[in-house]
A and B are shown apart, each in its own frame.
Chain A
Amino acid sequence: MSTSTPTPSVVPAKTSPGWQRKLSHLVGPLVLLGPPGVWLLLLLVVPTLLILQLSLIPGIRPGQPIDGFGLGNYLNIFQPVYLQVIWRSVFFALGSTVLTLLLGFPVAYWIALMAPKRWRNLLLVSFVLPLWTSSLLRAYAWITILRPTGVLNSFLSTLGLPTLDLLNRSGAVFIGMSYSFLPYMVLVLYASLEKLDRRLLEAAADLGASAPQAFWKVTVPQTLPGIAAGCLLVFIASLGDFVVPELLGGASSMTVSRLIYNQFLGATRNWGLGSSLSMVLILAVSISIALLIKYGDRDPESFS
């Protein structure tokens, strides 16, 4: 890399005069932080600002001249058609978050507190192993299972049970999203449960608390930051997900991601609307992260 020319090693810092020392103090940060900073500035910060600018030009389409600024694009979002899409995205994200919490908590609890100690790492690693495979192919696997002539229905009909029509409906999206993001939830919950002070559980039992009492009064409050972090992580990931609703949800399950996609690569080509939706999505995610930082890192003591 041309950026790593080691100027500071040539200048012996201890004997150089003041201005030179100052310069050599600047060289280090510039060499280390300059190149990645420029890259992020050019391909992340400037593009995001461009999107912000586009979002403020009502109804702009590629190749059109800029025709005054305004909030038209943001007001446009409040049309029932688009509000419905946003509501559906939030609904999918919330539902998947609840499902992954319900499925993930027992697994994380079992691995962290019940499984034999030397198996813990291996169990955790094997649980998150599917994350290493393509997310497209994991969603595709559910198509082969859920489609009308798929694995599930041929299994049901051999048992003499009525077949289910799940593909291209909300149910399939919930299954697919929970499947995709469950490993994240388990990872975060495990990290939190592993740190749980077991003496508190013993103390609760010694003081006569029943198992459910100990669970709700000790375990849950102690791991609440982890639960919050896991839920927000899954919520954010599923809110912006494109692949699962697209492959499993069918035409009636358009989400915000797909709506934005259509404004740029689809037939609609309304860059202004797409940009404002994009900004709203970024805003929603930023608010979630701000909430996580505000409440997630808090001392667990303050919850009990």
Chain B
Amino acid sequence: MPPLPVNSSKPTPKTTFSIRASWLAAISLAVFVFMYLPILILAFYSFNASRFSATWEGFSLRWYSTLFNDSRIFAALQDSLAVAILAVGVSAVLGTLMAVGLARYRFWGKGLYRGVSYLPLIIPDIAIAVATLVFLASFAIPLNLWTIVASHIVFCLAYVAVVVSTRLSGLNPHLEEAALDLGATPTQAFLKVLLPELMPAIVSGCLLAFVLSMDDLLISSFTAGGGANTLPMEIFSRVRTGVKPDINALSVVLILGSGVLAFVAEYIRYRGDQGRSV
């Protein structure tokens, strides 16, 4: 127990408190700048006319025109979008089924099932990538776009299931029972009562899974073979050899895209929270 000062005057702690607060605000501001500065610098130099130097040589859109005439980038973007949309589409169904099933039923081995469903969130990408490659190779399955989709479904469905589970645990469990008592079939109760309640969570889980799928480098690299080339693979192969101004331009385009996605996700989450509190 620390010795207690007898005459603790009120103003002193208050002033130290406000000094501490302004220090904290200053540090926080600095860390915010740390988070945003690299992205802003990236965007800024995408308009620089010079190729080699970090010095400003005038405003130019030449890197954007280089980018938009780059068919490799567009082919890679197409592959990435195809993988992400297919994987997220399947995962939306499988992940929701899994979350509802885990919330509803008790069965032998449930702990193990749940543990396995969390594994993709925990195990490093490289371990999943390597394991999937060995699996595909040992069954002589040819590597192409579809093997990327199949391997992305593994982690996408896990993320969708986690987000939906969180929402499920906050729901009134009697809603579905009430529907059943009022004469709805289990399918009707699921589709008309439970599913609308889960929709915000399913959509935000899907957005999260979509972003992660679009961002994945390792799992795609290991399961792509020669047939497919996703955007992260293309960016990685270019960026490792140095700074490329057209990649700066690409960054700006992608950041705008993910900004829109983030806005949509937050808006849905906000609406979901509003709905819950009513």
Contact = CB atoms under 8 A, between A and B. Distances in A.
Given A50-B131, A50-B135, A179 B35 contact: yes
A110 B41 contact: no
A277 to B, nearest CB: 9
Interface residues of A, number: 94
A242 B247 contact: no
Interface in B256-271: 258-259, 261-262, 266
Q: From DSSP, what is the main secondary structure of chain B's interface residues?
A: helix
A45 B128 CA distance: 10
Interface stretch (A15-23, A75-83, A122-130, A220-228): A122-130
Contacts of B102: 33
Contacts of A257: 124, 126, 218
B91 to A, nearest CB: 9
A55 to B, nearest CB: 10
Contacts, number: 257
B261 to A, nearest CB: 6
Q: From DSSP, what is the main secondary structure of chain A's interface residues?
A: helix
Contacts of B101: 28-29, 32-33, 36
Interface residues of B, number: 94
Interface string B23-65: 0110110011011101101100100000011110000000000
Interface of B: 2, 4-5, 8, 13, 16-17, 20-21, 24-25, 27-28, 31-32, 34-36, 38-39, 41-42, 45, 52-55, 93-95, 97-98, 100-102, 104-105, 107, 113, 116-117, 119-120, 122-128, 130-135, 137-138, 150-151, 153-154, 157-158, 161, 185-188, 211, 214-215, 217-218, 221-222, 232, 235-236, 239-240, 242-243, 247-248, 250-251, 254-255, 258-259, 261-262, 266
22 contacts: A28-B101, A28-B104, A32-B98, A32-B104, A37-B113, A39-B94, A43-B151, A44-B128, A51-B131, A110-B28, A129-B259, A130-B36, A137-B42, A141-B41, A153-B54, A154-B54, A182-B34, A211-B16, A240-B127, A241-B124, A278-B131, A281-B124
